Structure 1
């Protein structure tokens, strides 16, 4: 016989409500692990930040500036001594000249002293930074002991795995045509990073070296800034050396294209190159390329095919925006000057033409590609191969495409990455003189070294 006990549901509720709070079940959690030293981690972060602040590009610029000052004063001193030797009359003139030379020597001694102090300071900074890095590494290893779940260890393993699969380490071998340097393997840098003499003033512009310079101008650099509405400019600024460019001292000064601005001869857009003493750029308000000869100060015009997109209708773009007045991209490589553009006949795909030099330069040969221009952020040429980039993130740009003009072969899987110093690259060009890739982005001039194999 089974005995069944029936308790009304309301009675259960009543019993439940009658249980006093102090009789409720309470679990006490005891953590056997040591407490994480957050204060120590904060100290490590502060020390890292101080280390980063101490080592800045300004340190290098300070040294470059002192070297440039010394470089300029020594020839002046030599000139003054030569004048004294030639024209010394043994009287008042000689005494005054000696006084001038004495003052020059005093200034040079001060400059050398400051240079020595700066060099010693940099040496101390290097030693201190090395010691700090060792200490930081030791402290981070100690902090990793608290990572009982091995989150950091697994993350490091994942990073190693990514690096092993990273195409930058072993990029797809792009076609290279006939290149004296071998295959295009990778890019390192940035090597140079400077805002020059107009920091933050002109976001659009171009800079670089002449691959075929005139005698005596082998070390010169040039700079073009779009000074009006981020659209046009009417002069090119010249620098006698890289140091002059970095510290912002233009010895040769400006070469004005035309006093009337804007007009047909005005530079339109940031894609400008200098080759064999002539500046090549998009003529203002036209689908044409202008050639400004720096020696004769004359402008020659080369007309592009009918249907060429211009006046900001065929720009380079990323997912969020397009770069104004980048319809025509001028490029240099070992063989000369190229122009990259797009036409309505080619449905917005990249078109490439080679400039034939002469008294009246013309376009020699033209190639069409199957890559849509507005899916590209920039292009450059190297050894007869066209390379195209695309936006990956604010820190990274990818060289993803190549077109070999010698074979007509296209590739979309190059996979070489560029570390950016600014979110957008408005100008990109290759220098065959030293195999450097020059970029201009938001008034910052940056250069990268191309590695050939």
Structure 2
């Protein structure tokens, strides 16, 4: 653009000469410019205005409204669900009061989201109007400057560019073959994970601060009648072992810590079939966990009260050989992490053969369970604080500071592609994360953090 305008400016200097020579005196030449001078100041103003337009609109701004709309939709759905819970549980006393308080908090979040959405839309509308007016003015000024192109340099360059572009398109269509469509990561119908908001829930468990390691959540594939049930596993022995699962009928009851139902896996703790490590999940009314002192996947059927298992590949890590961790320490006995998503259950682990890097394996439901396909990654397990799965994509977190955890890595099992470029931050209320799991049913992340239970909303593009 600068070269074209310089050529336009140079072409505008059409000069006329006149000379006069008086006898016996020195000859004098007079130089006259045949046209008005080129407006360089106007050109500088156009360049400045164009730069401002390029920096005033970013890709992040383009996504703001969509992300806010999706968040508002999810909050309204959750509010509707909480109202239904209140209608079922309202006894005029404790349960009803807690449920009503939850609804008040959720309603405040909805109103806050709506206000933010309105402000964002208004800001974008004003920005769009201002930018459109500025662009219209720039086009008019550029058309005025074309009057100085007496040699038609700019016009010829524009024609050449059009011809070159048409020729490139023809060559591309002649020699290229159509590429297959690229599926979104994990073929997620809701799109790609772009943010995590919250926490929506934050409270101590019924145990208080006694047990800092554990896990909690909802069954993504519950049996009939247990759609609103929440489960909790606290490691009650040395932050390593547990021998029972605690269930609550609703979010209100788990927050208050009343009315739980306990289901015992083993008669003592620790012993055969004891839960080892905090990374536990429930799927299809069965609990999946690391079998006691063994590199095996245990499956506890909540209905029949029976345990079956399947061994991981030879030399897979267990017994605190490949735990999660960060610079300040490790999370003990987190060699095996379990995750749920839209397709079922996964186990995340490591082995010396993969140099301590993470391995992902499908866990096929059944009694006993069966290991399905496996994928090897380049991500070393000790550099990660936790993992979870969404639509067949593994996401890994790392410790930034006591207030912030970062989702920095992803591995897509559909395409076997991995990325270290994610920058999704999670606001923490406690320094450490002992377990983290995604529930595709409500699109929430359930976190166990230093004896506290928290939930976060997963936001998709």
* TM-score (ref. length: structure 2): 0.62
Q: Distance in 2 between matches of 1:71 and 1:335?
A: 31
- Summarize deviations over 1:339-366 as a string: whole Å, max 9, x none: 0000010010000000112232110100
Residue 177 of structure 1 aligns to a residue whose secondary structure is helix
Q: Residue 208 of structure 2 is aligned with which of 199, 224, 228?
A: 199
Would the aligned equivalents of 2:266 and 2:272 in 1 still touch at CA under 8 Å?
no
| 1:155-212 deviation per Cα after TM superposition (whole angstroms, max 9, x unaligned) | xxxxxxxxxxxxxxxxxxx962211211111110011001131221110000000000
CA distances 1:223-272 after superposition (whole Å, capped 9, x unpaired): 00000000100000000001111010134x10000113322200000000
- Candidates 197, 206, 224, aligned match of 1:215: 224
Distance 1:451 1:69, change over 3 A: closer
Q: State the aligned residue count.
A: 300
Q: Within 2, Cα distance between the matches of 1:316 and 1:292?
A: 24
Report the CA distance shift for 1:421/1:68 in structure 2 as closer, same or farther (over 3 A): same
Change (3 A) 1:333 1:72: closer
Distance 1:183 1:201, change over 3 A: same
Q: CA deviation at 1:73?
A: 7.1
* Counterpart in the other structure of 1:433: 441
User: For 1:408 and 1:365, how far apart are their aligned partners in 2?
Assistant: 12
Identify the residue that residue 271 of structure 2 maps to in structure 1: 263
Matches within 5 A, 1:346-357: 346-357=354-365
Paired with 1:282 and 1:366, the residues of 2 have a C-alpha distance of 18
1:236 corresponds to which residue?
245
Query: How do 1:19-418 residues align onto structure 2 when only pairs under 5 Å count?
Result: 74=91, 108=92, 111=93, 176-251=185-260, 253-418=261-426
Change in CA separation of 1:187 and 1:258 when aligned onto 2, cut-off 3 Å: same
**Aligned mate of 2:429, from 407, 410, 421:** 421
Q: Deviations over 1:378-421 (max 9, x none)?
A: 10000100000111000001000000000000000111000011
Alpha-carbon deviations, 1:275-327, whole Å to 9, x = none?
00000000010000100000000000110011111101110011010000000
Over 3 Å counting, the alpha-carbon distance change for 1:395 and 1:237 in structure 2 is same
Whether the aligned pair in 2 keeps the contact of 1:221 and 1:238 (CA below 8 Å) is: yes
Inter-CA distance 391–175: structure 2 relative to 1 (3 Å threshold) = farther
For the residues of structure 1 that align with 2:86 and 2:425, how far apart are their CA atoms? 37
1:224·1:235 contact (CA, 8 Å) conserved in 2? yes
Residue segments in structure 1 that go unaligned for 5+ positions in a row: 1-66, 75-107, 131-173
Report the 3-state secondary structure (helix = DSSP H, G, I; strand = E; otherwise coil) of the residue aligned with 1:439. Answer: strand
| CA deviation vs aligned residue, 1:53-72 (integer Å, no higher than 9, x gap) | xxxxxxxxxxxxxx999965
**C-alpha distance in 1, partners of 2:97/2:447?**
31
Q: Distance in 1 between matches of 2:446 and 2:90?
A: 30
Which consecutive aligned stretches of 4+ in structure 1 deviate over 4 angstroms post-superposition?
Answer: 67-74
SS of 2:247's equivalent?
strand
**RMSD after superposition:** 2.6
Q: Secondary structure at the match of 1:352?
A: strand
Question: 1:378 & 1:115 partners in 2: Cα distance?
Answer: 35
Secondary structure in structure 2 of the residue aligned to 1:345: helix
Q: Deviations over 1:22-63 (max 9, x none)?
A: xxxxxxxxxxxxxxxxxxxxxxxxxxxxxxxxxxxxxxxxxx
Structure 1 SS opposite 2:303: coil
For 2:358 and 2:89, the matched residues in 1 are separated by 47
